[in-house]
Amino acid sequence: MNETEKLIEQIIEGIQDKKGRGIVVANLTEIDDTICNYFIICQGNSPSQVTALVESIHEKARIGAHAKPYAVDGLRNANWVAMDYGEVLVHVFLPEARQHYDLEHLWADAKLTEIADLD
């Protein structure tokens, strides 16, 4: 498993640990001129859950993949938080914002992998 795959695995674990839902991994490696190689998209039900998801992702990535985000934006409102790990961008949404921005369809050419929700 390479470093990027390990990071993705740790990010998904961080999301699942705080009961994040609707996890989608968009593989952008076959698309020219993208800002990263992967998008990971998920959602929380409230601003406090979005914040908890971001904290959990940060911790899992730091411990499990020795990775820190270059930037985290959107925590003030916790409506849509973006975490930049270089090759991987994580998007943590509230449901309304996710539906509005519809990133999965914006990157329709990407290979999308849906991760089953844990109950």
Whole-number Å distance between alpha carbons of 94 and 80:
6
pLDDT digits (tens, 9 = 90+) for 60-113: 999 999 999 999 999 999 999 999 999 999 999 999 999 999 998 888 789 999
Give how far the C-alpha of residue 75 lies from the chain's centroid of Cα atoms, to the nearest Å.
14
Whole-number Å distance between alpha carbons of 108 and 119:
28
Whole-number Å distance between alpha carbons of 98 and 103:
7
- Residue 116 CB-density burial (10 A; 0-12 exposed, 13-18 middle, 19+ buried): exposed
pTM of the model: 0.95
CATH of 3-102, one of 3.40.190.10, 3.40.50.10420, 3.20.20.70, 3.30.460.10: 3.30.460.10
